[in-house]
Chain A
């Protein structure tokens, strides 16, 4: 036994095998690929979501249409002013564009799934309700009745009682 060890230590140390390193990194890669969602649009409005406790997950991502509401960010602020605006897909839009946009989105979906389409309203918390109400009227006119107010989870209900 002692002889054997002595014999081995005389040899050069073999280099550490890095062959399993790609496997580890690939595992990480797949994890991120599965858990993350591609950023679909380039946000042109600033959105700080309000907080809430009674929230539900949006189930089927492919059936969700997003409407963004907020103040134009940095470079767009000079052009479009500081009033809250709507963004549909990649462009600014007016309230009259909503109806045709929603109908177009619905047409693009599978016929059996059209009824399940949800419109997710991602609005900044400073937005005035006037714009949101106009938006809701347009959605009702477009027969898009399932909506979701996008919010961030709040730690506790008490957090929501303080005005800020």
Chain B
């Protein structure tokens, strides 16, 4: 009794930790850490009467990539390994057949390949039996080809990689120089 009068007893906060631990464990269990990441794409609007757009574009401006049901690649009518796809796609985009693209360094100027980057179209067609994994890998390579070209141009003009640019005008400029044109044709249905 005499002791109590002398000092005020401290509130026991020891169980506070237990309560907080309980909450912590609850959140640890119920939540997932994975951030949502992926390849962004834009689909063309649905058209009830699909026009044959391919006919409006010159054959040489189309870079055809076919994937069959065995996940093999046929690029511009030639068998290709996926490791070569990125380089082939880059060469096609900066080919600069007309010679009116002043930033296409190292363009081969092959008259049978694309006129200039704004006319170059990548056409991707897969089979219904193609695996999703392979499809994503090919998409990844095609996107990577455009990204690398943008990076190279950005390094040359501004000495900075494309992702490090901060001025929205510059970003837009580089983006427009190598605009992604990846069109997807209706898939084939062979050998399921």
A interface list, Cβ under 8 A from B? 18-19, 21-22, 25-26, 28-29, 32-33, 35-39, 50-58, 61, 64, 69, 118, 120-121, 123-130, 132-133, 136-137, 139-141, 143-153, 157-158, 160-161, 163
Q: Given A53-B144, A57-B37, A150-B36, A39–B137 Cβ distance below 8 Å? A: no
- From residue 11 to 41 of chain B, which have CB atoms closer than 8 A to chain A? 13-14, 16-17, 19-21, 23-24, 27-28, 30-33, 35-41
Q: Which of B38, B137, B189 contacts A148 (CB 8 A)?
A: B38
B136 at the interface (CB under 8 A from A): yes
Q: How far is the CB of B13 from chain A (nearest CB, A)?
A: 5
Most chain A CB neighbours (cut-off 10 Å) among B14, B41, B192:
B41
- Bound: A21/B186 CA distance, A: 61
Q: How far is the CB of A61 from chain B (nearest CB, A)?
A: 7
B interface list, Cβ under 8 A from A? 13-14, 16-17, 19-21, 23-24, 27-28, 30-33, 35-46, 71, 81-83, 86, 126-133, 135-137, 139-141, 143-144, 147, 186-187, 189, 192
B39 touching A148, Cβ below 8 Å: yes
Helix, strand, loop or mixed for chain A's interface?
mixed
B131 touching A125, Cβ below 8 Å: yes
Q: How far is the CB of B69 from chain A (nearest CB, A)?
A: 8
Q: Given A32-B31, A128-B132, A129-B128, A55–B39 Cβ distance below 8 Å? A: yes
Q: Which B residues are in CB contact (< 8 Å) with A58?
A: 35-38
B31 touching A50, Cβ below 8 Å: no
Q: Which A residues are in CB contact (< 8 Å) with B186?
A: 133
A28 closest partner in B (C-beta): B24
A161 touching B82, Cβ below 8 Å: yes
Q: Given A53-B140, A61-B36, A133–B128 Cβ distance below 8 Å? A: yes
Q: Which A residues are in CB contact (< 8 Å) with B139?
A: 52, 149
A61 closest partner in B (C-beta): B36
Q: How far is the CB of A122 from chain B (nearest CB, A)?
A: 8
- Bound: A53/B43 CA distance, A: 21
B11 closest partner in A (C-beta): A19
Q: 24 A-B pairs, CB-CB below 8 angstroms?
A: A21-B14, A32-B28, A35-B33, A39-B32, A50-B132, A50-B136, A52-B38, A52-B140, A54-B140, A56-B40, A64-B36, A120-B38, A125-B136, A128-B128, A139-B43, A143-B46, A146-B43, A147-B43, A148-B39, A149-B38, A150-B38, A160-B82, A160-B137, A161-B83
**Can you name 17 extra interface pairs (CB under 8 A) apart from A21-B16, A36-B31, A141-B46?**
A29-B20, A50-B136, A52-B136, A52-B137, A54-B143, A54-B147, A124-B132, A127-B132, A129-B135, A130-B128, A133-B126, A133-B128, A145-B42, A148-B38, A157-B144, A158-B83, A161-B81
Q: How far is the CB of A26 from chain B (nearest CB, A)?
A: 5
B27 touching A36, Cβ below 8 Å: yes
